[in-house]
Structure 1
Amino acid sequence: MLERVKKYIRENHMLKTGDLVAAGVSGGADSIAMLHILKQLQTEFGFLLEAVHVHHGIRGEEADRDEKLVRDICREWEIPFRSYHYPVPELSKKWKLGEEETGRLVRKEAFFRERERLGFPEQSSDGEPQFLVALAHNRNDLAETMLHHLARGTGIRGLAGIRPCSGKIIRPVLCLERREIVNYLKEREISYITDSTNLSDEYTRNRIRHHVLPVMEKEINSGAVEHMAETARVLAEAEEYLCKKGCELLEHCTQKKGYLLVESFFREAHIIQEYAVLEAFGRLAGKRKDFTALHVEQVLSLREKTTGRYIQLPRELRAVRVYEGVRLERTDNESVRRIDETAPETLAELLWEIPVPGTLECPFGIFEAKIFPYKNQKIEEKKCTKWFDYDKIKTGPCVRTRRQGDFLVVNREGGRKKLNRIFIDEKIPAELRDQIPVIAVGEEILWIPGGRMNEQYKIASTTGRVLELHYQGGVLT
């Protein structure tokens, strides 16, 4: 195992002499084994090593026990130890995020603070020692991530799963399976703990771990995890190549304030066009977060539209059909909120996906989405703020205008009513109906902002997570 990890580190150029490796150690089998392996390889590779533990303030005495175990092991193995404490339940309520997402953010913050404490710059020059974060993901984690992404819908990037290196993050035991790691610790009589939350089926990843992967390995192929890891490696190489080709195509489209996709752009293979647009999103917005395959297709579809048509995108980006082609650019808030004179015709074919959690600014106004656990709080009854049972919503909510087939569930028995019938009953003038924004999942309407909401998604005693939608501006205020 040591030789395999050694080879994996070299093949992926993970670290060099003089680097400081901050190993994230929870006390579980994966992280304890990674720490022990790194300690064995430290002299040969010539890097500095320390352990960083994050106490989430969630599991009481159990969390204190985890911290003590990691501290004692580090003392025994003569590894510098640093612990950071965060009140995750309190922060979760304050930030209106789930505890799992909040935990991820505080772990990121802990490593940021540790890098600053040690005086390492955020960016280091080539050849200079750098601050690296080692995480203990293994092949099973990779397989679980692939399956999770596949079930939710994804592209090559998502199927490639967890990478050996991501910026300053390295994953030295990603080449090992979980059973190998557990055997490694047992053979050496090294103690570790099992987080009780890992035994629960409350989280999707745990359900995949406990039920889906074991069936695949037992009844389909015992080497399923190994084969999925190899597939992920091939897909990662394909992703890297397509990104490179997309960047090359985009270089021919650069303008002062954005990118102009001219006719020659659309003669390239469609998948290269997609990667070029994704790269443009990342460069203009600073990150690709909040951008989906739907946004890419909306931009590319503008080629077939008439001059003047436009699509408002997340993070204040906009794509416009101009005479020369499709222009992709940043925009200001005023133009984001403005509805053009041609809006009824233009907006009828467009939609905007609401980032959850996050904020969408589009021609209809501002839509803010938050998620938090339901603990019998008083339900918001404001005209422009509504609460929904988030666990019942299977696809991302979008803002758009009415379409044929749209409906709402109007009572607890599941009775449906066509959206057009609701507009008629509420005496909304016919000339305004194509200008009214609705929040939809497919053909089902969640909410007419300022008006009626879908009964099927109302908060109930069984609700686990709440989706709060708040609306500012638009036709119905």
Structure 2
Amino acid sequence: MIERVKKYIRENHMLKAGDMVAAGVSGGADSIAMLHILKCIQHDMGFELEAVHIHHGIRGEEADRDESMVRKICEEWEIPFEVYHYPVPELAKEWKLGEEETGRIVRKQAFFRERERMGFPEQKTEDQPQFLVALAHNRNDLAETMLHHLARGTGLRGLAGIRPCGDGIIRPVLCLERREIVNYLKEKGISYITDSTNLSDEYTRNRIRHHVLPAMEKEINPRAVEHMAETARMLAAADHYLLEKGSRLLSGCERKDGYLFEGEFFREDQIIQEYAVLEAFGKLAGKRKDFTALHVEQVLSVSEKGIGRYIRLPQNLYAVRQYEGVHLGKTVPRKAPESTESLVKREKYPAEDFWEIPVPGSLECPFGIFEAKIFSYKKQKIEEKKCTKWFDYDKIKNSPCVRTRRQGDFLVVNREGGRKKLNRIFIDEKIPASLRDKIPVVAAGSEILWIPGGRMNEQYKITSTTGRVLELHYQGGVLA
């Protein structure tokens, strides 16, 4: 198994002699096995090695036990050890984020601090020693990620799952399955810790891990994880090829203030156009996280609109129909949409049309993207964002859907249960009559749960008795 990992590292050009590898070690089976294998091949491959442990301040004595155990192992194996402490629950409240997202942020911060402590600048040429972060993802993690992305909706990049390396991160045991790792530790007599949160079905990934993948291996094919890993490899290669084609197409569209998509661009294959637009999003915004296939479709559709029409996109980007073609950039049109109009498309949709929101899941509809999550309420700080709202899920009797207004729609507007007609709310908020049939609402029957970007139903607000929370997040693309 050690030779397999060494071969995998070489095939993917993960590291070279002289590099510093900071292994993220939680104390679980995957990270302990990774640390042991890296220690075994360190001398042969000529890299430096240290272990980094992040204490999240969440699980009390259990977390203290994990730190002590990792520290002891590093002392026995003579591996330099660093630990970083973060009060994640307090930071989550301060940053108004969930603990899981906060944990991801502090882990990045810890390795950033470690890189600085070790004296490695942020950018170095490839022929110089690099500071690399080693993470212990395995094939099962890759399969779980594929299934999770597939269920939520994704493209080739999402289906390719977890990559072997990139952006200063390496995953040397991604070629191994979880059962192989556990057997390796048993054979070597190496102890490890099982995080109690990994045993719970509260998180979607855990449900996939405990129920979906085992069922696939038992009922369909015992080598399902292996085959999914191979499929992910081929999908990653296809994604890389299309990305190169898209980047080449995009290079001919570059302008001082963004990108101009004109004649030759729209004669390319549709998939290459889509990759080019996604690449443009990343270059203009510095990241692609907030952009989806719906945003790409909206940008391409602007070419069919009249001169001067535009859409507003995440990260303050705009796509504007000009005489020459479609301009994508951060330039705001001279007549920007008003705040009320920023929630709607100009097309009117019939009142009988509706789009059900999968819970949990993601909905892409003509009004934008609605993402739904379910989690247990443990007195977390309630999100206070215009486009993200928390609801008491156990009180909602009908499936939430997105639609425009209908006769009889109402909201509960106070704790006493007082109702107000949706039309009256629109009038009170001075929304022009011409727009009222174009504004999306989240409804359960005739009851309006939320006007995205505006008011929500008082009856479904979080209280001390709330059991489960429904989190709805809205992203809208606006056609002017």
TM-score normalized with structure 1 length: 0.82
Check 1:112–1:465 CA distance in 2 against 1; reply closer, same or farther (3 A cut): farther
Q: What are the equivalent positions in structure 2 for 1:135-214 lying under 5 Å apart? A: 135-214=135-214
Tell me the equivalent position of 2:363.
Answer: none
The Cα of 1:459 is off from its aligned counterpart by: 3.4
In structure 1, what residue type is equivalent to 2:116? Answer: E
Q: How far apart, in 2, do the equivalents of 1:181 and 1:9 lie?
A: 17
Tell me the equivalent position of 1:360.
Answer: none
SS in 1 for 2:90: helix
Q: How far apart, in 2, do the equivalents of 1:101 and 1:220 lie?
A: 34
Q: How far apart, in 2, do the equivalents of 1:407 and 1:245 lie?
A: 52
Tell me the equivalent position of 1:32.
Answer: 32
In structure 2, what residue type is equivalent to 1:291? Answer: F
Tell me the equivalent position of 2:450.
Answer: 447
Tell me the equivalent position of 2:391.
Answer: 389
Q: Deviations over 1:252-289 (max 9, x none)?
A: 11111111100221111111100000011111111112
Q: How far apart, in 2, do the equivalents of 1:385 and 1:22 lie?
A: 38
Aligned-residue sequence identity (percent) comes to 67
Q: How far apart, in 1, do the equivalents of 2:441 and 2:329 lie?
A: 27
State the superposition RMSD in angstroms: 3.8
Q: How far apart, in 2, do the equivalents of 1:288 and 1:390 lie?
A: 31
Q: How far apart, in 2, do the equivalents of 1:129 and 1:452 lie?
A: 54
Check 1:133–1:243 CA distance in 2 against 1; reply closer, same or farther (3 A cut): same
In structure 1, what residue type is equivalent to 2:271? Answer: I
- Answer yes or no: is 1:132 the counterpart of 2:132: yes
Q: How far apart, in 1, do the equivalents of 2:32 and 2:210 lie?
A: 22
> Would the aligned equivalents of 1:96 and 1:370 in 2 still touch at CA under 8 Å?
no
The Cα of 1:409 is off from its aligned counterpart by: 7.0
Tell me the equivalent position of 1:459.
Answer: 462
Check 1:335–1:96 CA distance in 2 against 1; reply closer, same or farther (3 A cut): farther
Q: How far apart, in 2, do the equivalents of 1:449 and 1:226 lie?
A: 43
Check 1:432–1:405 CA distance in 2 against 1; reply closer, same or farther (3 A cut): closer
- Answer yes or no: is 1:347 the counterpart of 2:376: no
Q: What are the equivalent positions in structure 2 for 1:245-324 lying under 5 Å apart? A: 245-324=245-324
Tell me the equivalent position of 1:215.
Answer: 215
In structure 2, what residue type is equivalent to 1:453? Answer: M
Q: How far apart, in 2, do the equivalents of 1:411 and 1:297 lie?
A: 36
Q: How far apart, in 1, do the equivalents of 2:279 and 2:454 lie?
A: 39
Check 1:270–1:191 CA distance in 2 against 1; reply closer, same or farther (3 A cut): same
In structure 2, what residue type is equivalent to 1:434? Answer: L
SS in 1 for 2:263: coil
In structure 1, what residue type is equivalent to 2:62? Answer: E
The Cα of 1:166 is off from its aligned counterpart by: 1.9
In structure 2, what residue type is equivalent to 1:97? Answer: L
Q: How far apart, in 2, do the equivalents of 1:17 and 1:207 lie?
A: 40
Check 1:375–1:25 CA distance in 2 against 1; reply closer, same or farther (3 A cut): closer
Tell me the equivalent position of 1:15.
Answer: 15
Tell me the equivalent position of 2:433.
Answer: 432
Check 1:162–1:376 CA distance in 2 against 1; reply closer, same or farther (3 A cut): closer
The answer to which of 227-236 and 280-289 deviates more is 280-289
Tell me the equivalent position of 1:356.
Answer: none
Instruction: Extract unaligned runs of 5+ from structure 2.
Output: 350-371, 414-419, 475-480
Q: How far apart, in 2, do the equivalents of 1:344 and 1:37 lie?
A: 53
The answer to which of 254-263 and 236-245 deviates more is 254-263
TM-score normalized with structure 2 length: 0.81
Q: What are the equivalent positions in structure 2 for 1:352-363 lying under 5 Å apart? A: none
| Aligned residue pair count | 440
Instruction: Extract unaligned runs of 5+ from structure 1.
Output: 351-368, 413-418, 471-477
